Amino acid sequence: MMIGVMHGPNLGRLGRRQPEIYGRTSLSDVEADLRATFPEVEFQFFQSNHEGALIDTLESWRDQGIRDVVMNPGALTHQSYALRDAIEGLELRVVEVHLSNIYRREPFRAHSIIAPVVVGQISGLGVMGYHLAVRYLIASSGAV
């Protein structure tokens, strides 16, 4: 099974940026932990601060046969119609993940443009959200 794990803007600074909100685990730690926990999965990881690079990567993954994606779109959650349209148009099975509880923060964070086109959303469970998303995608593989 192949799963893409995509991280949006500012997540490259995970572990150093606002650790009181996002924790102290680095992005490379998250990736290593997922590989160790799920050896049966072939992961592709990608992080970018640029919307177009995220969309280009989703298109590339789809062309490679990757349909299942765990995505933390960062702030693009609240403003990227282009990313939303890419997810919908590529017919990807995406689980949206947020480290912090976006509904307990600033009001603008409580709305996800992405949510209507993903299979589910995990918010506020820290890096465990990535694990839960992968577990879901494995358990529901083959399901629409």
Q: Which amino acid type is present at position 55?
A: I
Active-site amino acid positions: 22, 98
Q: How far apart are CA 135 and CA 57, in angstroms?
A: 22
CB atoms within 10 A of CB 123: 20
Residue with tokens 């299979």: 119
Q: How far apart are CA 14 and CA 67, in angstroms?
A: 25
